[in-house]
Amino acid sequence: MDCGFWNGPSRMKVKEGELRLLSAREALEARREGDALARDGRERALCRNACLIARALERRGKPVFADGEAALDALRVEDIARLADAWADFNRRCNPSALDGEEEVRRRKKAWSTRLMSAFSGACSACSALCPPRSGRKA
């Protein structure tokens, strides 16, 4: 799994390959492509999700589908819905919202500080032993 230092994993395995996080522009383009494919409001969600999956689903670093239309041709409605739900959950975990609440913000801050501190254990301990921390002011 590729990892972003600031937000955790950027890819999630699914049986069809890997779902990757999308940039805001990619998500917007998927929405616009989905709107162009839909003939009426009832088709919009399915078409948008197919376009999102076409951009997010990869195998060995390459897109599985050329576009949303190819995803609509290859996948069943249930598969598109399952993959779109999995991507949405993954995106929500890795890209928290300010609306998540104070408790979630505290949990993420704690996880961040724990991760940063553990980065200095192990490889740096030999260097740290040479310069032990001082415990107060001594003249």
Could you give the domains of the chain? Answer: 3-99 (3.30.2220)
Residue bearing tokens 């060995």: 60
Q: What's this model's pTM, rounded to 2 decimal places? A: 0.68
Neighbouring residues of 1: CB distance < 8 A, sequence distance ≥ 6 = 9, 10, 11, 12, 13
Q: Is 15 exposed, middle or buried (0-12, 13-18, 19+ CB in 10 A)?
A: exposed
The pLDDT tens digits of the residues spanning 43-92 come to 999 999 999 999 999 999 999 999 999 999 999 999 999 999 999 999 88
pLDDT in tens, 34-54: 999 999 999 999 999 999 999
